[in-house]
């Protein structure tokens, strides 16, 4: 397969393309990476140059994994149905402090995640950003009632005075166990988390490999790391 340096905007796009290509040819992950490296084991090859650039994004991928993980954690806490859950306690005593804190923290982590995806770039991340924005836009009325506004860049803006004064019922409608918004976010953010973890893992492999000199040794080293860690 011929791959040019401009074929893929991000490592995630490249991973997805390799997954589709190897699946159609009956090749496993190891076969796909081996084939890639055998075709491109010269240091000056544009594909390796592209991978070198992507290796530099290792920190961004790790940050995305961290922030998506935080969003998922807050969503899980807010949608808990147990008797001692955030909303069960709020409904019992009328105190929304814990719910407000969790929602506020969720928004902060969500905005960091959006920033990460925008910085990573690529068709796959653009698709995720579009999906997330659409999900929030569909729930903009619910969010507005509790002081959260969906901005044009896909991030969320919180009016904490309105959020703190919001009724338990409105908070629960937006992020509680029966919330379609919470369910949709959990699904999409979960996909982003999984994909970013894969990108982070492979970026680290390439990053480590490029610290070694010599194109052929890079080929052997990357192949060894992939077979060991993939």
Whether the predicted pLDDT of 105 surpasses 90 = yes
In a domain, 219, yes or no: yes
Q: Which residues contact 161 (CB under 8 A, 6 or more apart)?
A: 147
State the total domains in the chain. 2
Per-residue pLDDT averaged across 112-138, rounded?
A: 95
> Are residues 44 and 138 both part of a single domain?
no
- 170-196 pLDDT per residue, tens: 999 999 999 999 999 999 999 999 998
> Are residues 34 and 86 both part of a single domain?
no
Per-residue pLDDT averaged across 164-168, rounded?
A: 97
- 5-57 pLDDT per residue, tens: 444 556 667 666 655 555 555 445 445 555 555 555 544 556 556 666 666 66
Per-residue pLDDT averaged across 147-170, rounded?
A: 97
> Are residues 74 and 126 both part of a single domain?
yes
Of 6-10, 156-160, 202-206, the one with minimum mean pLDDT is 6-10
State the pLDDT at residue 84: 94
48: its two tokens = 């390796």
Domain range for 37 is 24-57+205-229
What HEC string does the chain produce?
CCCCCCCCCCHHHHHHHHHHHHHHHCCCHHHHHHHHHHHCCCCCCHHHHHHHHHHCCHHHHHHHHHHHHHHHHHHHHHCCCCCCCHHHHHHHHCCCHHHHHHHHHHHHHHHHHHHHHHHHCCHHHHHHHHHHHHHHHHCHHHHHHCCEEECCCCCEEECHHHHHHCCHHHHHHHHCCCCHHHHHHHHHHHHHHHHHHHHHHHHHHHHHHCCCCCHHHHHHHHHHHHHHHC
Residue whose token pair is 């080293």: 221
In a domain, 69, yes or no: yes
> Are residues 78 and 191 both part of a single domain?
yes
CA Rg value for the chain: 21
State the pLDDT at residue 120: 86
Q: Which residues contact 95 (CB under 8 A, 6 or more apart)?
A: 89
> Are residues 166 and 215 both part of a single domain?
no
In a domain, 155, yes or no: yes
- Measured CA to CA, the distance from residue 85 to residue 145 in angstroms comes to 22
> Are residues 143 and 71 both part of a single domain?
yes
Whether the predicted pLDDT of 115 surpasses 90 = yes
């Amino acid at each position: 397969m011929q791959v040019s340096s401009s074929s893929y905007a991000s490592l995630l796009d490249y991973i997805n393309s390799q997954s589709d290509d190897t699946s159609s040819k009956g090749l496993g992950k190891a076969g796909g990476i081996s084939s890639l490296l055998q075709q491109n084991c010269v240091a000056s090859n544009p594909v390796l140059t592209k991978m070198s650039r992507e290796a530099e994004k290792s920190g961004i991928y790790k940050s995305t994994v961290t922030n998506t993980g935080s969003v998922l954690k807050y969503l899980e806490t807010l949608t808990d149905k147990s008797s001692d859950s955030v909303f069960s306690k709020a409904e019992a005593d009328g105190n929304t402090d814990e719910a407000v804190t969790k929602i506020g923290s969720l928004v902060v982590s969500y905005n960091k995640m959006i920033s990460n995806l925008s910085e990573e770039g690529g068709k796959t991340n653009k698709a995720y950003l579009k999906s997330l924005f659409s999900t929030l836009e569909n729930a903009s009325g619910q969010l507005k009632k509790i002081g959260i506004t969906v901005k044009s860049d896909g991030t969320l803006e919180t009016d904490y005075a309105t959020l703190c004064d919001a009724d338990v019922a409105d908070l629960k409608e937006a992020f509680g166990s029966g919330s379609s918004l919470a369910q949709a976010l959990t699904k999409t953010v979960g996909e982003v988390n999984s994909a970013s973890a894969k990108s982070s893992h492979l970026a680290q492999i390439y990053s480590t490999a490029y610290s070694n000199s010599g194109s052929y040794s890079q080929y052997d080293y990357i192949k060894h790391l992939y077979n060991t860690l993939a």
